[in-house]
Amino acid sequence: MGLVVQKYGGSSVADAEGIKRVAKRIVEAKKNGHQVVVVVSAMGDTTDELIDLAEQVSPMPAGREFDMLLTAGERISMALLAMAIKNLGHEAQSFTGSQAGVITDSVHNKARIIDVTPGRIRTALDEGNIAIVAGFQGVSQDKKDITTLGRGGSDTTAVALAAALDAEVCEIYTDVDGVFTADPRVVKKAKKIDWISFEDMLELAASGSKVLLHRCVEYARRYNIPIHVRSSFSGLQGTWVSNEPLSDAKDQKVEQAIISGVAHDTSEAKITVVGVPDKPGEAAAIFRAVADAEINIDMIVQNVSAASTGLTDISFTLPKAEGRKAIDALEKAKASIGFDSLRYDDQIGKISLVGAGMKTNPGVTADFFRALSDAGVNIELISTSEIRISVVTRADDVNEAVRAVHTAFGLDSDSDEAVVYGGTGR
Amino acid sequence: MGLVVQKYGGSSVADAEGIKRVAKRIVEAKKNGHQVVVVVSAMGDTTDELIDLAEQVSPMPAGREFDMLLTAGERISMALLAMAIKNLGHEAQSFTGSQAGVITDSVHNKARIIDVTPGRIRTALDEGNIAIVAGFQGVSQDKKDITTLGRGGSDTTAVALAAALDAEVCEIYTDVDGVFTADPRVVKKAKKIDWISFEDMLELAASGSKVLLHRCVEYARRYNIPIHVRSSFSGLQGTWVSNEPLSDAKDQKVEQAIISGVAHDTSEAKITVVGVPDKPGEAAAIFRAVADAEINIDMIVQNVSAASTGLTDISFTLPKAEGRKAIDALEKAKASIGFDSLRYDDQIGKISLVGAGMKTNPGVTADFFRALSDAGVNIELISTSEIRISVVTRADDVNEAVRAVHTAFGLDSDSDEAVVYGGTGR
């Protein structure tokens, strides 16, 4: 029995009852002979309440102070969780990100972990304690200021600690049973995936699946830390994410599926730059303007230019929240780039099919397009990787498209049991 | 213009409006050319809410985790205050007790400061920042655990930082205008004291005055840091507490009064140990039993023993909250000590007259007893120091007694203006 890192999100510790429930589960793992390190998020709505307060005193809260403020949230939940565990007769100590040795760069509100030096955690474990660590936070290497890791930060904290402590597994507890072959709110027959490779999970996360964030999976892959995503409300096995199926999972006769799942995303918009002169450097100028505004773009498609005009159109997708900023940046650069006009469309959706099996199954792409066509779904953009095909459609067609593809690839469950599916905290 | 330490209690930063109001006052001091260090308590009811949460998860929260929990309160208020100051166009940085170099012993929930190493604060000031420091908290020297300083902890943090940074003055902002000659809720004609010596302030604090706690005044006296107690709601001069009247205060022609003020305290109870054999070692045995239960006692009186029985009675006063514990400890030791019975009386009050002038004015004691007698107040116990006389009376007589003594010593104000008087936070 080795070392286990468990992470609990805000919905699992939303109130005193939740904290006591989680404490019991942690003690269970300890009783089973594990050394246990727990990473915990802020309780329920605490973070939103703190953000509200910040907005009341300042319209543009400074990064350093905003991080100092937000980290109070985990401080509360971790201390309460340690108390609840001690109340069950087991030793527990809570540690801030700084005390746990989570060293980051100095980019406030979205710092990156650059080192983990968990000396105090190791000592606490060796003395028989359960160690409770604040998720989402660290301390900057140069200035020793408190930092936060941004979205999905607590998951990343858990995986980083698991790597630094050479843990057997990093268990991510959430309010769903695991990773599904599609969003169960859309596809009633979506199945829980027993095992999925890091590679496929990365593609699913990049394509709209919200259970695990890309950044956390990327970290786990780099250090080869198996992740077990599971519900804090049930005792069920969840989804294992790792390089190879683990022995535990093998007992359940898991083999790699051709297709892991269907992801969808309706949080993006499409910008089309119309009438771009078809000459070298034009695309570069456009995306330089967008990148300088610190906007992350997703898919890019350039049409074949019309021979008669020598002009072409370039489309790309980006988060809706950054649409305004991108339009402003492009309008400003319009004269120097030289294009006719901009079109902005936020009524789009993206459907992605993910599976390493498609590398060796050339028919997958054809089957995918056939399923969409049979469902009467029109395709606007296409982009592919070695193990993923994504298309952009009308937003209204997304749910129908996801269901059609899910069925076409034989992913539908035999059971009709409904699954409740929600997002994780940070 | 030198360095000023300002401390704001929880009632001054109870909400976003309060924080913005305090931010303006801090910026004012900075504009006047001071280097400014601010010590802040948790917002309004935050601490009580956190204690509630702790009680929901554990009936006996562990000290280390309880401190970790409570310190979230100052983390929130200090970050918000720094944001509010930056929003006014001035640079500010917040620091936890640990970051500010407040080093304590390891006694959780009531740690004592053993060193202050404010290197980061000094750097922040030298870089032109206003430094905001979390009150009430520190870090333990040996284990590097987060500690809290107990009641009055934020005031003590402020004085300790003022000493370590060699500040000109430590300003304690609260919700009253300063220290008064008596509690204005009881004595309508109580006057604000312009200047009072450390010595007299220590006696007032020990005798029930709640504006400054004994511990903080003691620290200020040891390092000779002038304290200016004043309201965060007005621009008025408050009360200066120092060795000698400052030049500022001298301008106002302040001289040392014979009597500084009248304090009262109804938070104590009286225990009488009846029928104690009048032989050496008996009193020692009684107070050893009480001390071993970690109970602080105040006044002690032993009657002359009755010649006929060789037995005497010993009475002492102690905080009501510790009454039960003291009775239990004495009952347990009854057989070995050898007394008849215990009497417990929580309907008592204490009135104290404080003033260094009584050292050279022998008539003070007589005038004090005369005033009480004229008011028909019966005296049950008497205790004196060089600069204080205290008596215990029935609780019901306390207010009348305080007013009578206040008038008798010419302390009544000519103005009839009512003053609102409240307690400070922690």
- Identity of the residue in A16, A65, A75 whose CB atom sits nearest the CB atom of B72: A75
Kindly give the confidence (pLDDT) of every residue in chain A, 426 residues in length, as a single tens digit, with 9 standing for 90 and above: 799 999 999 999 999 999 999 999 999 999 999 999 999 999 999 999 999 999 999 988 889 999 999 999 999 999 999 999 999 999 999 999 999 999 999 999 999 999 999 999 999 999 999 999 999 999 999 999 999 998 889 999 999 999 999 999 999 999 899 999 999 999 999 999 999 999 999 999 999 998 999 999 999 999 999 999 999 888 899 999 999 876 554 455 455 678 999 999 999 999 999 999 888 888 888 998 998 888 888 888 877 777 778 888 899 999 999 999 999 999 999 988 889 999 999 999 999 999 988 888 878 888 999 999 999 999 988 888 889 999 999 999 999 999 999 999 999 988 654 434 333 334
Residues B68, A54: C-beta atoms closer than 8 Å:
no
Q: Which of A50, A225, A420 is nearest to B16 (CA)?
A: A50
Please indicate whether, in this complex, the C-beta atoms of A72 and B69 are within 8 angstroms of each other: no
Closest partner residue to B72 (CB to CB) among A59, A72, A84 is: A72
Q: In B, what residues contact A, Cβ < 8 A?
A: 16, 19-20, 23, 50, 53-54, 56-62, 64-66, 68-69, 71-73, 75-76, 78-84, 86-87, 92-94, 99, 120, 144
The predicted structure's pLDDT at residue B421? 35
Q: Which of B21, B74, B75 to mutate to test the interface with A (most CBs of A within 10 A)?
A: B75
Q: With contact defined as beta carbons under 8 Å apart, do B132 and B190 qualify?
A: no
Q: What is the pLDDT of residue B280?
A: 80
Angle between helices B72-87 and A63-87 in degrees, nearest 10? 170
pLDDT value of residue B360? 81
Tell me the DSSP string of B267-318.
SEEEEEEEEEE-STTHHHHHHHHHHHTT-----EEEPPPBTTTTEEEEEEEE
Residue A246: the pLDDT is 60
In one-letter notation, the amino acid at residue A246 is: L
- State pLDDT tens for residues B110-141: 999 999 999 999 999 999 999 999 999 999 99
Q: Do A83 and B62 touch (CB under 8 A)?
A: yes
Q: Give the residue from chain A lying closest to B61, CA to CA.
A: A83
Structure tokens at B376: 């028909």
What pLDDT score does A250 carry?
47
Domain edges within chain B: 3-253
pLDDT of the residue at A425 = 36
The whole-angstrom distance between A88's CA and the closest CA on chain B is 9
- Asked if B79's CB is within 8 angstroms of A72's CB, the reply is yes
DSSP code, position B248? H
pLDDT of residue A161: 98
Q: How many CB atoms lie within 10 A of CB B174?
A: 25
Cβ B48 vs Cβ B16: under 8 Å: no
Per-residue DSSP letter, B211? S
Nearest CA in chain A to B81: A57
- Asked if B94 lies within 8 A of A65 by C-beta distance, the reply is yes
Residue in chain B closest to A14 (alpha carbons) equals B53
Interchain pair B56, A16: CB under 8 A: yes
Question: To probe the interface with A, which of B51, B58, B60 has the most A CB atoms within 10 Å?
Answer: B58
pLDDT at B423: 37
Token pair, residue A405, equals 């593809």
Nearest CA-CA distance, residue B294 and chain A, Å: 25
CB pairs under 8 A between A and B: 112
User: In the prediction, which pLDDT does A422 show?
Assistant: 37
Test the A interface: residue of B65, B85, B88 with most A CBs within 10 Å: B65
Q: Flag if B53 and A80 touch (Cβ within 8 Å).
A: yes
B59 and A87: CB-CB below 8 Å? Answer: yes
Burial class (CB in 10 A: 0-12, 13-18, 19+), A400: middle
- Pairwise CB contact (< 8 Å): A68 & B19: no
User: Which of A64-78, B23-37, B289-303, B312-326 has the least mean pLDDT?
Assistant: B289-303
Nearest CA in chain B to A19: B57
Nearest CA in chain B to A24: B57
Residues of A in contact with B79 (CB under 8 A): 54, 65-66, 68-69, 72
Mutation target among B15, B40, B74, B83 for the A interface, most CBs of A within 10 A? B83
Res B229: pLDDT: 97
B218-271 confidence digits (pLDDT tens):
999 999 999 999 998 888 999 999 998 765 544 554 556 789 999 999 999 999
Determine the pLDDT at residue A247. Answer: 59
Task: Please give the residue of chain A at the shortest CA–CA distance from B134.
Answer: A68
**Residue B144 to residue A84, Cβ atoms within 8 A:** no
With CB atoms and an 8 Å threshold, state whether B76 touches A60: no
| CATH architecture of the domain covering B3-253 | 3-Layer(aba) Sandwich (3.40)
In Å, how far is B358's CA from the nearest CA of chain A? Answer: 51
Given an 8 Å threshold on Cβ–Cβ distance, is B16 in contact with A75? Answer: no
Tell me which chain A residue has its CA closest to the CA of residue B56. A16
Q: Which residues of A touch B69 (CB under 8 A)?
A: 75-76, 79-80, 83
Closest residue, chain A, to B15 (C-alpha): A53
CB atoms B65 and A72 under 8 Å: no
Is the pTM higher than 0.80? yes
Tell me which of A211-220, A339-348, B45-54, B354-363 is least confident.
B354-363
Which among A132, A127, A122, A125 has a CA at the least distance from the CA of A84?
Answer: A132
Q: Which residues of A touch B81 (CB under 8 A)?
A: 57
- Rounded to whole angstroms, the Cα distance separating B70 from B73 reads 6
